[in-house]
Amino acid sequence: MTTSSPDAGRTAPGDPEPGRGPAQGPDSWDLLVSAALVGTARRAVPDTPDLPATAETGGAAALLDRAALATVRRLAGYTPARAAPVSPAPEADRPEAGGPAARRLEAVLADRSGLLPEWLELAAAAGLRVPAEHLPALLDRGAHDSSLRPAVAAAAGARGLWLAGFDPDWSYLLAESAPEDVFDEQAWLYGTEGERRRMLGALRAADPARGRELLASVWPDLRKAELRRRLLEAMGTGLGPDDAGLLETALDDKGANVRGLALSLLTRLPRCAHADRLRDHVRAHARPGPEDTVVVTPVGADEAGLLRDLALARPSGAVGRRERAEYLWTLVTRAPLDVWTGLLGTDPAGVLERVSRSDDEELHDALINAIGVQEDGEWARAALGMLEGKVTDRMLSAARSRRPLQLEPLLRVLPARERCSLAERSFGPRTNTRDVRSLLHAVPGPWTASLAHRVADRLGGKGWDRDHGGYRSVCDLLAERTPPELVHELPQETPSLAAVGGPDGTGDSAYRSLLGTLRFRLDMHKELA
């Protein structure tokens, strides 16, 4: 098995041109090899004017002496290569995170990678950049974890961009927008695909109308679907009603990913013509039913206009139940939610009640998904209000029916204090530990102090002796989502250690790890304040 060095494929400043190797020009190596194959008894040792002189011997000894010299030259000798001078690293555009903050980053990269997004966010908020010596490791992390890339771009600074140009694996950074970006026409016209994406994002941030006009002017000439998709992403910055026309054009694109992105962006424009057409499609397929229910008719494969508006390709063969379910799911997810209140003559809570009475699980799940996608707080409160006091009961029934309860998308829509308050009211001392764990996983951070204290109290309750994995999982959540300054308010000893138990002191280890992580994060916040 062959291996390559970590730097394989990277071009360092000052490297010779690719392909340059041993000294060129007259080379006796082939002549010497040929003579060796035939033998000096049948062929004379060839002259080697390109090599230093050897002792006046003949035969095999002379051949081997000259071959040794040729071998050394082939391994060590290089001809001068032509190379364009590498532009020097730009001047630092912001102060470097040095001293304790730099050492903290080193520790995060080594042992606490889960805290890397938080470190990067704090550094960017403080106007600091990543220390130069840590840039290669950080760029490698971003190459393997796309979710990190925006945070890496925000904290890497101008020198990070410069360094990213030396390794194709790091080129993703050239496409990531950063707050300090300024539109450069030359980079837009002649840059890489990533640089063009970055420049369009900068222009959209400064002048959305000009950015839209620029993209519209080149759209017909963009041959690669991936480039069209990447440039269309920039339309998400400064998105407004005037952008709907260009997005409608993209909705007819040959590339499925381009159409899907256009639909996602149009979903954020509930007052455009596309949104009105989706409302009409819902009215054509849903109506009030008897006894305060909702009746939904299937979407047909022959409805070309509807499929186009949903960015779906027309099927080439027969359409089954699975395809029809996909059509309905996409329509309900993308149509503005207000069409349902108008259609049924009630408020969001009333709509959800009617859907529940209809016993249509697919419609119910699609509506919940739509609330999360469209980030509608009023609808989220209505959906969560139906679960008030019954969250864990619904979790249990959902688990039994193998239909996951879509709680996290609803909670994520709400302000932090409101969702934490709802979570507090949803479990108590007697709540099953597995339900507590499932509920808390669905509550995004940061958690309020009140919820953190409630969770810490529950860690001292009963049931964990039969759920050691759940205990560790909840400790990890508390360490990650609790404001670190609360570390001094939490119990400093493992709550009810005897009740937690666990093999090899599992409970004690998990709780001490929780406190250690909170202290680590608290120091990190102080260093980057």
Q: Mind listing the pLDDT tens digit for each residue in 103-112?
A: 999 999 999 9
The answer to whether the beta carbons of residues 395 and 423 sit under 8 Å apart is: no
Q: Is residue 21 part of a domain?
A: no
Q: Say whether both 440 and 526 belong to one domain.
A: yes
Q: Is residue 33 part of a domain?
A: yes
Q: Say whether both 285 and 355 belong to one domain.
A: yes
Which whole number is the average pLDDT over 427-445? 90
pLDDT confidence of residue 86: 85
The gap between the terminal CA atoms of the chain, to the nearest Å, is 49
Q: Say whether both 262 and 277 belong to one domain.
A: no
CA atoms within 13 A on the CB side of 251: 20
Last residue of a domain, one of 225, 241, 267: 267
pLDDT confidence of residue 401: 47
pLDDT confidence of residue 12: 41
Last residue of a domain, one of 143, 175, 207: 175
Task: Give the residue with greater pLDDT, 126 vs 322.
Answer: 126
What are the tens digits of pLDDT across the range 239-281?
999 999 999 999 999 999 999 999 999 999 999 999 999 999 9
Looking at the 3D structure of the chain, how many domains does it have? Answer: 5
pLDDT at position 16 over 80: no
Q: Say whether both 155 and 197 belong to one domain.
A: no
Q: Say whether both 193 and 158 belong to one domain.
A: no
pLDDT at position 20 over 60: no
| Segment among 191-195, 397-401, 476-480 with least mean pLDDT | 397-401
Q: Is residue 401 part of a domain?
A: no
Cα 102 to the center of its chain, rounded Å: 24
What are the tens digits of pLDDT across the range 362-404?
999 999 999 999 999 999 999 998 876 566 666 555 554 455 6
Q: Is residue 91 part of a domain?
A: no
Which whole number is the average pLDDT over 44-64? 85
Q: Is residue 160 part of a domain?
A: yes
Last residue of a domain, one of 337, 364, 386: 386
Q: Say whether both 163 and 196 belong to one domain.
A: no
pLDDT at position 90 over 50: yes
Give the domain extent around 440: 420-529
Q: Say whether both 302 and 382 belong to one domain.
A: yes
Task: Centre a 10 Å sphere on the Cβ of residue 14 and count the other Cβ atoms it contains.
Answer: 8
The answer to whether the beta carbons of residues 123 and 528 sit under 8 Å apart is: yes
Q: Say whether both 280 and 221 belong to one domain.
A: no
The one-letter code for the residue type at 66 is R
Task: Give the residue with greater pLDDT, 316 vs 501.
Answer: 316
pLDDT at position 22 over 60: no
Q: Say whether both 338 and 369 belong to one domain.
A: yes
Q: Is residue 394 part of a domain?
A: no
Q: Say whether both 206 and 128 belong to one domain.
A: no
pLDDT confidence of residue 308: 96
pTM: 0.80
Q: Is residue 86 part of a domain?
A: no
Q: What is the mean pLDDT of the chain?
A: 88
pLDDT at position 17 over 70: no
| Segment among 4-18, 30-44, 458-472, 489-503 with least mean pLDDT | 4-18
pLDDT at position 49 over 70: yes
Q: Say whether both 283 and 366 belong to one domain.
A: yes
pLDDT at position 503 over 70: no
pLDDT confidence of residue 92: 85
Q: Is residue 391 part of a domain?
A: no
Q: Say whether both 472 and 497 belong to one domain.
A: yes
pLDDT confidence of residue 7: 42
Q: Which of 67-81, 174-188, 248-262, 426-440 has the highest mean pLDDT?
A: 248-262
